Amino acid sequence: MTVEQIRHTRTAPSDTVSYRQTYHRRIARKILAEFSHERALSPVETAPGHYVVSSADGDTEYRFRAEILALENWAIDESSLRRVRRGEELPVDAIALVVDLAPLLGIGPQALPDYLEEFINTLAISAERSDERRVTAADLAYADFQTIEKTMTEGHPCIVANAGRLGFSAEDIERYAPEVGNHFRLVWVAARREDCDVATVGGVDYDAMLVDELGVETLADFDAVLRECGCEPDDYRYLPVHPWQWTEKLRKLYSADLADRRIVFVGESPDLYQAQQSIRTVFNSTRPTRHYVKGALSIVNMGFTRGMSADYMRTTPLINNWVRGLVADDPYLAAIGFEMIFEVAAIGYRSPTFTQITQPGSEYRKILSALWRESPVSLVGSDEQLATMAALLHVDHHGDSLVGAFIARSGIPAAEWIRRYLRTYLHPIAYLLYRYELKFSPHGENLILVLDNGIPVRAILKDIGEEVSVFGDPEGFPENCARVLTAEPDEIRNLGVLSDIFDDFLRPLAGILHTHRLVTDGQFWDLVAESLREFVAAHPDLDDKFAKWDLFAPHFGAVHMNGLQLRNNKRMVDIEDSYASLIDAGHLLANPVADRGPR
């Protein structure tokens, strides 16, 4: 099917109410599918391919048709979903579904209102979006990087309540939420040098970088503000602040620091920025080749309070510097065009009050910090397109998939498109794990695809300092960066592919490809196995690691993402804890490529 045919195959509902109903059904489907995948729900088969889930009180039934695909992936036909209460059919309501199933999902009466707040906020992103903000998949396949970024509505593919934004008001959503795509300026403050930790990668000077980011005139204006306050600019460091963080946190918690001029407001950024899907990272819309800025944002979102600490800022560029040095001259990564965008500088403020009364990890140490990450814009040619990999899971308001639109634009068969995509994504991530013993979190938002006429040609990995896990005892590793060192047993190191890639991303992608009849689930996993065999054959010097960390192992342990969030929505996991602690030992997933391995 051509792109033009896709554009005209569906007729848009006449008003937003119709879309609201569409998204209630869509998210209800996700609830049933993901919690069944995690075995919190056990649908009962009433006829071949027909299932029912009953509410905790037994009064309501949710009936649907479904296929159970590889990795216990429930492909539910959302058009078949019916809600029947005491024999009466009612409209499908995603909020009512959570309430009906809460005891089965392990959500207690005290926790239910908190979870519902996160869930309702998540639902509103898609269900309440204004019509003018909706873009068809066929048009998105030709769109620019930031148009795609602001059009995403799915969030994390596995977590249901993935966009709670607890702390944002309705007005804040309109100003700062990624899906709104609004442009705003950053607040800039000066902080006493002795209270700041500053770190950079090799070859980057913090003050010189600020000249490149802000310009000489803006910095001169900041200097003038300090002098008008009776302060000497050489005694201060400049750092950016998200405007919400400035209003809601700094002006309150740090009012004494402001009164004592340990912190001084000096102005706003001359450039405008746009929030990214990770919400606390912003993209420079005025000058796209300038750095991303990532700042502390003390709202609760998807299992974490999104602050940033000086403790982490003083080591993040050092970790990036070490990773960069390790992989910079790798001929294989260069040959396939794989790149990383590094966090090149960071600054964190240590409050004299809160630092002395708290321990590392405290949210009160995560109020005022920022880092700069390279922009991917300068890495692509004028005929190439950037898209976050999360875009491959996007389904528009008509039910059309963006991955299908990319395939249609490419003009090549779906199977060949998938082969090229897997070489772009699966191969380099697996290579980093097996060659360098580096495990990342390569979910959709952390990886940017470079496409040429809709075809993935290479990938760019980001979020290095906070997401990397380093195995073993690597030579030359900075002593003060030990937070990313991990000692996982050999038998679970393959989870860097089997869990983080297969279960967390390829499983939902396979479901979309299957239900949109692009390739069947079996064909998709055949292609994954073929791609892995190709990868293994290309690296015979890694055979000992392939044997120890078996990619074709029969089973692997499941990680229940929604269950982790329900246990603690402010710190879903301890990122310094062992990966093994996240695995449900009683739930083994059958590896879909186990019987497709090398002979």
With 0.75 as the threshold, say if the pTM is over it.
yes
pLDDT score, position 11: 37
pLDDT score, position 573: 64
- Considering only CA atoms, give the Rg of the chain: 24
pLDDT score, position 7: 36
Q: Which helix (H) or strand (E) holds 564?
A: helix 561-567
Name the one residue in this structure whose structure tokens are 């300092």. 465
pLDDT score, position 227: 98
pLDDT score, position 599: 61
pLDDT at 6 exceeding the cut of 50 = no
What is the per-residue pLDDT across 287-337, written as a single tens digit (0 to 9) for each? 999 999 999 999 998 878 899 999 999 999 999 999 999 999 999 999 999
pLDDT at 155 exceeding the cut of 90 = no
For the segment(s) 3-133, the CATH number from 3.90.1150.10, 3.30.70.1350, 3.30.310.280, 3.40.50.1820 is: 3.30.310.280
pLDDT score, position 128: 85
Structure tokens at 472: 């073993």
pLDDT score, position 575: 58
Pairing of strands 485-486, 469-471: parallel
What is the per-residue pLDDT across 186-236, written as a single tens digit (0 to 9) for each? 999 999 999 999 999 999 999 999 999 999 999 999 999 999 999 999 999
Which one-letter DSSP state was computed for residue 463? -
d(CA 558, CA 430): 19
C-alpha dist (Å) from residue 536 to 427, 431, 435, 541: 9, 9, 12, 9
d(CA 88, CA 232): 74
Which of 582, 580, 575, 579 lies closest to 308, judged by CA? 575
- The amino acid at 221: D
Which of 258, 244, 271 lies closest to 189, judged by CA? 258
Contact between residue 515 and residue 75 where contact means Cβ atoms under 8 Å apart: yes
What does the mean pLDDT of the chain come to?
Answer: 93
Mapping DSSP onto H, E and C, the string for 67-108 reads EEEHHHEEEECHHHCEEEECCEEECCCHHHHHHHHHHHHCCC
Mean pLDDT, residues 559-584 taken together: 77
Which of 564, 575, 573, 585 lies closest to 159, judged by CA? 564
What is the per-residue pLDDT across 445-502, written as a single tens digit (0 to 9) for each? 899 999 999 999 999 999 999 889 999 889 889 988 999 998 888 888 999 999 999 9
Compute the CA torsion angle 131, 134, 136, 137 (nearest 10 deg). -160
pLDDT score, position 582: 83
Burial of 194 (0-12, 13-18, 19+ CB in 10 A): exposed
pLDDT at 570 exceeding the cut of 50 = yes
Mean pLDDT, residues 419-447 taken together: 94
Confidence label for 585 from pLDDT (cuts 50, 70 and 90):
confident
What is the per-residue pLDDT across 94-126, written as a single tens digit (0 to 9) for each? 999 999 999 999 999 999 999 999 999 999 988
Which of 590, 592, 574, 566 lies closest to 108, judged by CA? 566
What is the per-residue pLDDT across 363-420, written as a single tens digit (0 to 9) for each? 999 999 999 999 999 999 999 999 999 999 999 999 999 999 999 999 999 999 999 9
Sheet holding 438-439, edge to edge: 438-439, 469-471, 485-486
Name the one residue in this structure whose structure tokens are 């029947």. 84
pLDDT score, position 490: 85
**Percent of the chain whose predicted confidence (pLDDT) is above 90:** 84
Contact between residue 90 and residue 83 where contact means Cβ atoms under 8 Å apart: yes
C-alpha dist (Å) from residue 139 to 1, 136, 375, 418: 15, 5, 24, 21
d(CA 286, CA 289): 9
pLDDT at 268 exceeding the cut of 60 = yes
d(CA 141, CA 472): 42
Which of 152, 159, 158, 122 lies closest to 401, judged by CA? 152
pLDDT at 579 exceeding the cut of 90 = no
Confidence label for 361 from pLDDT (cuts 50, 70 and 90):
confident
Contact between residue 192 and residue 257 where contact means Cβ atoms under 8 Å apart: no
d(CA 372, CA 252): 26
Rounded to 5 degrees, φ, ψ at 472 are 75, -155
Domain ranges for the chain, please list them: 3-133, 183-377
Pairing of strands 447-452, 385-388: antiparallel
Mapping DSSP onto H, E and C, the string for 214-272 reads HCHHHHHHHHHHHHHCCCCHHHEEEEEECHHHHHHHHHHHCHHHHHCCCEEEEEECCCC
pLDDT score, position 62: 98
d(CA 50, CA 76): 10
Contact between residue 308 and residue 360 where contact means Cβ atoms under 8 Å apart: no
